Amino acid sequence: MTVALAVAVRSLPRAPGLAYEPKFDGHRLVVIRTDRAVDGVILQARSGRIVTAAFPDLAAAAHHLPAGTVLDGEVVVWHAGRTDFALVQRRAAAASAARAAVLARTLPASYAAFDVLELAGLDLRSRPYERRRTLLVDLLLPLGPPLQPVPMTTDPELAETWYETLPASGIEGLVVKRMDQSYPAGRRGWQKLRHTNVRDAAVVGYTGTARRPLALVLVLPVGDETPLVSSPLTAPLRAEVAAAVAARDPAPGTSRGATSATITAIGLGEVPFHPLDPPLTAEVRHTSTRHPPPEVLRLRTDL
């Protein structure tokens, strides 16, 4: 199932016929309820990878959906009153059914659904968003958690209030859709407004070694596309980057893993780094193209 995408905007769109939804900080997930009685639920990541085994709690809840239902949304884990992306990553990384079951009990997942693509076998993607939204709410409200529709408003003033106040709950911005819009599968037909100091960047390399990366070499989507060296990675991020590099190059230390470039970093001079082609994507916090260096918040990898 190919999902809809969003293009980043720098200010809140205001026009008649727009809908605003909070943008949850989790992993994109398509829920597919088939007509099979026992294993009739498929959970699909944005990449197309099937991740049903990692979320047995959501799979069990999805069995209550009518056969022939497909939902689009975000899987999140709440902790201390806010969504916690690191905990979603831990859930997604469950290496066995036993581990996934333990995590489902200790870190229960929630599903923030923002669209219904099929219902009782009927393809709804050509229907306007306004109609799909009504069907989504009617479908999920009687079921209750962990499957829930995201909040939605057509009031730009309320949307702006959400944008300013909800980050404390882990909400990273807003998604804006037209009420008369069909589902834009595979296209950037929606708009997303994220807080201005958080953005996606291309990871074109890393410093350190493949087993212990120290920082990332980034190209931001603003400015002159000059690569920058990030601030030092946290221990969890080092492990995550190392795993991503190992998945690309199962034999670090070969010619593919050798240093073959340098970059000039402010205060560090010439820094050797290992290029990545194609790049990875990371979410970074950055307020200046000069100082301080970008802070890497997470890799933007699919499940």
Report pLDDT digits (tens) over 91-117.
Answer: 887 778 999 999 999 999 999 999 999
Residue 254, pLDDT score: 43
**DSSP letter assigned to residue 23:** E
Tell me if 121 sits within 8 A of 67, measured CB to CB: yes
Of 77, 134, 142, nearest to 107 (Cα)? 77
pTM over 0.85: no
- The residue ranges of DSSP E strands in the chain, in sequence order, are 5-9, 18-23, 27-33, 41-45, 69-79, 82-83, 109-119, 122-123, 147-149, 173-178, 188-194, 198-208, 213-219, 228-229, 261-265, 269-285, 295-299
Bridge partners of residue 273, in order along the sequence: 261
Helix axes 97-106, 85-92, angle to 10 degrees: 150
pLDDT tens for each residue of the chain, 303 residues long: 899 999 989 899 999 999 999 998 888 999 999 987 567 999 999 888 899 999 999 999 999 999 999 999 999 999 888 888 778 878 887 778 999 999 999 999 999 999 999 999 999 999 999 999 999 999 999 999 999 999 999 999 999 999 999 887 888 899 999 999 999 999 999 999 987 667 778 898 999 999 999 999 988 766 556 788 999 998 888 988 999 888 876 554 443 445 577 777 655 678 889 998 888 888 887 765 445 788 898 887 654
